[in-house]
Structure 1
Amino acid sequence: MVTFVAGMGLLSQGSPLTWEETRKYADHVRKHGILQFLNIYNKVKDRQKDVLKWGDEVEYMLVEMDERNEKARLVLNGSKVLETLQQKGENINPNHPTLWRPEYGSYMIEGTPGQPYGGTMSEFNTVEDNMDKRRREASSVLEKNQTLLTVTSFPRLGCPGFTQPEYKPTPVEKGASKSLFFPDEAINRHPRFSTLTRNIRHRRGEKVVINVPVFKDKSTPCPFVEVFPEDDGEAARGAKPDHIYMDAIGFGMGNCCLQVTFQACSISEARYLYDQLATFCPIVMALSAASPFYRGFVSDIDCRWGVISASVDDRTREERGLEPLKNNKFRIHKSRYDSIDCYLSCCGEKYNDIELTIDEEINKQLLDAGIDKLLAQHIAHLFIRDPISLFQEKIHLDDENESDHFENIQSTNWQTMRFKPPPPNSEIGWRVEFRPMEVQLTDFENSAYVVFIVLLTRVILSYKLDFLLPLSKDVFKGCNPVLDPPASAVNGLESEASDGEEYTLMSIDTIINGKEGVFTGLIPMLNSYLENMEVDVDTRCTILNYLKLIKRRASGELMTMAKWMREYVSHHPQYKQDSVITDKINYDMLQECDLIAKGQKKCPELIGEPLNRGK
């Protein structure tokens, strides 16, 4: 699909460098990355009137359902499945309706539409069909006992025997992650992924540390403390009591998500959309919550974001503020996978109220080259990071016609929104990527979230809406967004906005569905927009069904996937109220998920009933 690179970022082929070798070229990559950005910017800064094009990315897990042993395992043959799909599709037909790309896990694949969707309303009626095509296409090349699932987090990821074939982790031997739980064989074989894994660990100076609060059920040990027999001391130092401890990138990047990329008509429109959509990132993340289980335990969080953020946190102790700066240049406040740190549009400038770490030299270089202050500081902030994966063949490049060094830094800053300049010498325009959503169980749900976000961009642009608020107030609890308002905001409003303030606390129900005298609500805005558009009956019916799902999820009338999974586990006859998800519980739940995803079983508490999908 012309508007995308793979979700994990730039995928180059070649000979990967170690972290020590990569570090020697860090300044070279930054220097030439900035030159490449300036070359692109100067060529296309005045580009106007690009038409709306957009597309989604869905990530899938390959799962074996072992009926005899009642076990669900992740199948580590993603590369083979991917190669088969590409050979049957895009390799013989450039207009094939689907495209397939690798992802971090060797049990994962990513599917996108073969061509971007356009700006007509009727396109919304084709999204679910294309997702269905992808699911059927990939399922057709699997073996009899295997299935394709869109679950955000595999509940027993990192538990003994969670892969097929089974491999044991190698924490004390040479390897990419040295994890106590996650074998290197579960990492995609493309050299980028193992290099990323190894170099993040080497740059940080230790393994990554992920601690997720465990859900305290009636029989959960208190305190909840694990002992790790093969630990060399790192786990004992890193693990917190009453938390589920994880130690590898795979626990974050091995999760699945749903993303949408839009082409804007100009750079200014792209910057405006980037800012406006940033406000909705934590809201839509909470609405799509789908990952309550980690390493075979029930957690006290519903979304993957905090897990994935910690999983790629390559900051040293100095950069994390644990030791004085000596060998590093910057104190860095966040992981390279986190929420945005600054708005890009002129209307967002006054709301940039959080501390922004920037490379002052790069900032000055950009300003001197004619880049405005807001865009310059955004790029100078991204470029405080080192390249984390570099290939020998990609060191010396043609800065006029290539952008690999810029993309090396840009694509490993995994933020809730991504501002994407056009590739060199291409027909692609300025784009923005909306990144916080958890993947949903069915194609209907995934389509609903995608269409909701795309429609929201149309409404924002058509009505010139402004949803900005100070970044410090955009509460982004990456680990645990809540759907219900706090006790002090039972009515969806904590208090009247005080004099001079343009914002107030609202529940997600109020934000999405509106409340008289408080806020119109996004769904009523979208409905108003639709009433003024020429839309065929079929498409209108489809869109209204999607919006109905979003509306009912926001009100709590329908469960999120995370809530549904929790309910399933709590009512399973084998569950002992001890926060443990056994192989049998996992197998039964994923079998149920598979039936629902294939339309063989209804699930009114999750999706609603009945569903006239406008087909």
Structure 2
Amino acid sequence: MGLLTDGSALSWEETKHYADYVRKHGIIQFINIFNKYKDRQGDPFKWGDEVEFLIVKFNDKDKTAKLCLKGDELLKVLNEKEENDPTGVESLWRPEYASFMIEGTPGKPYDGFFDGLNKIEINMNNRRQEIMKLLEPGEVVMTLTNFPRLGCPNFTEPPTYPTPNVGITKSLFLSDETIANNTRYQTVARNFVDRRGEKVISNIPIYRDVNVARPFKENLSIYGDDGTSEKLTKENHIYMDSIGFGFSCCCLQQTMQAYDLKEAKFIYDQLAPMCGIMLSLTAASPFYRGYMSNVDTRWNILNDIADCRTKEERGITPLKENKFLINKTRYNSISSYLSEQADKYNDIPLTYDDNIFNQLLKNGIDCLLAKHIAYLFIRDPLFLFSEKLNLNDEIATDHFENIQSTNWQTMRFKPPPGNSSSSIGWRVEFRPCELQITDFENAAISCFIILLSRVILAYNLNLLIPISKLDDNMTRAAKRDSIRVEKFWFRKNIMREEEGNDIVDEYAEFTVNEIINGKEGVFIGLMPLIYSYLGNIDIDTETYCKLKKYLEFIQRKASGEIITTASWLRKFVMTHPDYKNDSVISDRINYDLLKKIHDIQTNVDPCPELLGTWRMSKKKL
């Protein structure tokens, strides 16, 4: 989730008082980083992944599956290895927003191209096993984007009880006990509400099966609502009222180190058009608060839940106390490209701080990067610790990261740490992918993104389309069964041949299948280029065969031969004998679903409908 520090947290009113101070010193820190590393070149290609895990407890007698609130307890044990041997551990463990979550990454970046491609699935599985060894009977670790009954009564072990009128989030559905025992996360949760001036809300359309009431409207008084939330709900929608509904969703991310600053900006821009495509392909979260929704991804929920804008910033009331009308929430698609060749595709108005922008320009930072940073810095800090106020801006980056790490965009441009060793350079993070059920799937997706980044560089591809079309693609990708029923904006000729003067002629609508696998006589397809690349490099047979399994899986997922995780989840629920065609995921349905998922994750059930026939055998793992 970004910068993790602890200390004496300030209240929102105190943090607000220091907001300009944090921005001022955050920009100074970025300028110092930039000047220190702007000419840095020759960094080797390194990369890594991030996986967020859920801890689940089964009660086989009662036929229930609940979220297990022992993430903090497990982290203490998991982190002992790193404390004793920081450079020798196989995995690194970090807290996540919820007390039933843990984030795991490789112990160090994969060094070089083939190193990671050969190790990633094994490393992911080892991470899973490392947690499993610490669990008690009935407890399991799962890679699942969203727990289907998050926010339902009695969904945690031990039980927790919401406090709608007091506490941090004042949610009708989620207790503050579900927030990790981490000062930063608790402070962010509180300050979201305090800054916004009211609870965050999300209304997600319910799947209107035949027995869903028309109109569908919940009685929230049974959860303790005093009538306030009732006014915020929409008919035929599932109502959520805490950032926990978004930040408890798990995702899969890839970070890669670039050769230099120029390459980092280039990769950032070129991968951005893939965000909507990969969100559609990895769709894995159709269930919210025990209901089946009419969307397949977490994206709309995150957009809503990460909205700490005031009424002024949302345009509901005129600007008075705030400086900017802000069009997007903190969790959204990127708003501008960074490289010079991409500038003409920056077609949406970008709100940014003029004073910060001019300051960056005066210190030698190019116009596009300066706008990007000045755009991020229209936000206030969401957390601040008294011990971290007065810092040495020559080496510290805390104030910069305070703002940078709380802008959760589809792509993240990451400068070297201010006091870093020579091993950390300019990096790019790819952030839209939903988490899949198995290590095989997550490894395949990660390898595809990493391979594509290498192909883009090797063939000097051009995937650029207008930023507005990226926003459109993200909206389309979130829809139910988007991989099959939607088309997405994509560049027609990606081989960098010159197009006409009219940008509109450069892109068209394609299916995910056409983008990945190609359309004869119309679009070359990304996968044929990847295979061409692999055929032109020195790669051993064993590595090639492993990659071929991953790539064939992606190809057949794109073509629809293998269904998305979201579609598989829907099918399981809708064919369950207890399902009443009412879009409700009952305790028993949830239990059977998660038991099935656990069998798939542990290779008890091969599930070719979801995985095809390429999954590595259990023995090899």
Shorter-chain TM range is: over 0.9
Moved more, 579-588 or 513-522: 513-522
Per the alignment, residue 460 of structure 2 pairs with: 464
What letter matches 1:447 in structure 2?
Answer: A
Per-residue CA deviations over 1:262-290 (Å, capped at 9, x if unaligned) read 00010000000000010000100110000
SS in 1 for 2:217: coil
Letter in 2 for 1:483: I
**Which of 263, 275, 292 pairs up with 1:269?**
263
Q: Which moved more, 1:517-526 or 1:579-588?
A: 517-526
1:309 corresponds, among 295, 303, 306, to: 303
Answering whether residue 511 of structure 2 is matched by residue 507 of structure 1, we say yes
1:3 counterpart residue number: none
Amino acid at match of 1:459: V
1:582 aligns with 2:578: no
Matched position secondary structure for 1:20: helix
Q: Deviations over 1:363-391 (max 9, x none)?
A: 11111111111010000000000001111
Mean Cα deviation higher: 521-530 or 497-506: 497-506
Task: Call closer, same or farther: CA 1:146–1:52 in 2, change over 3 Å.
Answer: same
Find the aligned partners of 2:87 and 2:339 in 1 and give their Cα distance: 37
d(CA) in 2 for partners of 1:310, 1:182: 16
Whether 1:595 aligns to 2:599 is yes
CA distance, structure 2, for counterparts of residue 202 and residue 51 of structure 1: 44
1:210 matched residue in structure 2 = 202
- 1:119 aligns to what? 112
- In the alignment, the residues of structure 2 paired with residue 487 and residue 253 of structure 1 have an alpha-carbon distance, to the nearest angstrom, of 28
What is the SS of the residue equivalent to 1:110? Answer: strand
Cα distance change on mapping 1:372 and 1:488 into 2, 3 Å: closer
Distance 1:558 1:90, change over 3 A: farther
**1:480 is paired with a residue of what secondary structure?**
coil
- Distance in 1 between residues matched to 2:68 and 2:432, nearest whole Å: 26
Q: Give the 3-state SS of the residue equivalent to 1:505 in structure 2.
A: strand
Among residues 146, 151, 154, which one is paired with 2:144 in the alignment? 151
Residue 359, structure 1, aligned to residue 353, structure 2: yes
Matched with 2:74 is 81
Query: Is structure 2 residue 132 aligned with structure 1 residue 139?
Result: yes
- The question of whether the paired residues in 1 share the 8 Å contact of 2:488 and 2:512 is answered with no
The amino acid that maps onto 1:20 is E
Q: Is the 8 A contact 2:69 2:99 kept in 1?
A: yes
Question: Deviation string for 1:113-154 (max 9, x for gaps)?
Answer: 001002232431111010111011110001111000000000
Distance 2:442 2:270 in 1: 22
Which letter maps to 1:312? A
> Is 1:164 paired with 2:157?
yes
Q: 1:93 to 1:315 in 2, by over 3 A?
A: closer
The residue number in structure 2 matching 1:59 is 52
Match of 2:428 in 1: 432
- Say whether 1:396 aligns with 2:427: no
Shift of the 369–549 alpha-carbon distance from structure 1 to 2, 3 Å rule, reads same
2:276 pairs, out of 282, 286, 291, with: 282
1:15 aligns with 2:8: yes
What secondary structure does 1:126 align onto? helix
Residue number in structure 2 paired with 1:5: none
Output one character per residue of 1:152-188: Cα deviation in whole Å (capped at 9) or x when no partner: 0000000000011001000112x11100000000000
Q: Tell me, in whole angstroms, the C-alpha distance in 1 between the residues paired with 2:455 and 2:174.
A: 44
Distance in 2 between the 1:372 and 1:99 partners?
Answer: 35
How far apart in 1 are the matches of 2:356 and 2:265?
Answer: 20
The CA distance in 2 between the partners of 1:344 and 1:123, in whole Å, is 27
- Counterpart Cα distance in 1 of 2:138 and 2:487: 47
Q: Does 1:557 align with 2:564?
A: no
Query: Residue deviations 1:75-114, cap 9 Å, x none?
Result: 1010111111111455346311111110001000011100
**Corresponding position of 1:26:** 19
Query: Are 2:446 and 1:447 equivalent residues in the alignment?
Result: no
* DSSP 3-state at the match of 2:58: strand
Aligned AA (2:109) = P
Indicate the residue corresponding to 2:551 in structure 1. 547
Residue number among 95, 102, 122 corresponding to 2:95 in the alignment: 102
RMSD in angstroms over aligned alpha carbons? 1.7
Match of 1:521 in 2: 525
Q: Which moved more, 1:284-293 or 1:120-129?
A: 120-129
Distance in 2, matches of 1:464 and 1:557, equals 31
2:397–2:418: 8 Å Cα contact kept in structure 1? yes
Contact 1:122/1:535 (8 A) holds in 2: no
Letter of the 2:369 counterpart: L
Cα deviations across residues 33-92 of structure 1 (Å, max 9, x unaligned)?
000000000000000010001000000000001111111000101011111111145534
| Aligned AA (2:567) | K
* Secondary structure class of the residue paired with 1:504: strand
Q: Does the CA contact (< 8 Å) of 2:270 and 2:464 recur in 1? A: yes
1:295-334 mapped onto 2 (5 Å cutoff): 295-334=289-328
Counterpart of 1:530 in structure 2 is 534
Q: Deviations over 1:506-539 (max 9, x none)?
A: 1110000001111111111111101111111111
Q: Distance in 2 between matches of 1:487 and 1:422?
A: 37
Once the two structures are TM-superposed, the CA of residue 238 in structure 1 deviates from its matched residue by: 1.4
Query: Does the Cα contact within 8 Å between 2:487 and 2:511 map onto a contact in 1?
Result: no
Superposition deviation, residue 233 in structure 1:
3.0
* 1:195 aligned residue (181, 187, 196): 187
Secondary structure, counterpart of 2:323 in structure 1: coil
| Offset of residue 488 of structure 1 | 12
Partner of 1:185: 177
Q: Per the alignment, in what secondary structure is the counterpart of residue 412 of structure 2?
A: strand
| Alpha-carbon distance in structure 2 between the residues aligned to 1:430 and 1:218 | 52
CA 1:395–1:96 in 2, change beyond 3 Å: closer, same or farther? same
* Residue 465 (structure 2) pairs with residue 473 (structure 1): no
User: Where in structure 2 are there 5+ consecutive unaligned residues?
Assistant: 494-498
Unaligned runs of 5+ in 1: 1-7
Amino acid at match of 1:484: R
- Matched residue, 1:46: 39
Question: What residue in structure 1 maps to residue 362 of structure 2?
Answer: 368
2:46 touches 2:113 (CA, 8 Å); kept in 1? no
Asked if structure 2 preserves the Cα contact closer than 8 Å seen for 1:122 and 1:536, the reply is no
Q: Are 2:403 and 1:409 aligned?
A: yes
Structure 1 contact 422–431 (Cα < 8 Å) conserved = yes
Counterpart-to-counterpart distance in 2, 1:374 and 1:20: 33
TM-aligned CA deviation for residue 609 of structure 1? 2.1
Secondary structure of residue in 1 paired with 2:556: helix
In structure 1, C-alpha distance between the alignment counterparts of 2:115 and 2:478, rounded to whole Å: 37
* AA aligned opposite 1:99: L
CA apart distance, 1:487: 8.6
Check the 8 A contact 1:59/1:108 in 2, yes or no: yes
Match of 2:329 in 1: 335
Equivalent pair of 1:485/1:506 in contact (CA under 8 Å): no
**What percentage of aligned pairs have identical amino acids?**
53
Relative distance call for 1:157 and 1:346 in structure 2 (3 A) is same
Q: CA deviation at 1:257?
A: 0.5
Q: Could you give the per-residue CA deviations for residues 316-347 of structure 1, whole angstroms, max 9, x where no partner exists?
A: 11111111111111000010110000000011
Q: Paired residue for 2:340?
A: 346
CA distance in 1, matches of 2:551, 2:149: 33
Q: Is the 8 A contact 2:314 2:326 kept in 1?
A: yes
- Counterpart CA distance in 1 for 2:126 and 2:358 is 49
Inter-partner Cα distance in structure 2 for 1:370 and 1:86: 41
Q: Quick one: which amino acid aligns to residue 343 of structure 1?
A: Y
Distance 1:272 1:498, change over 3 A: closer
The offset of 1:456, in angstroms, is: 0.4
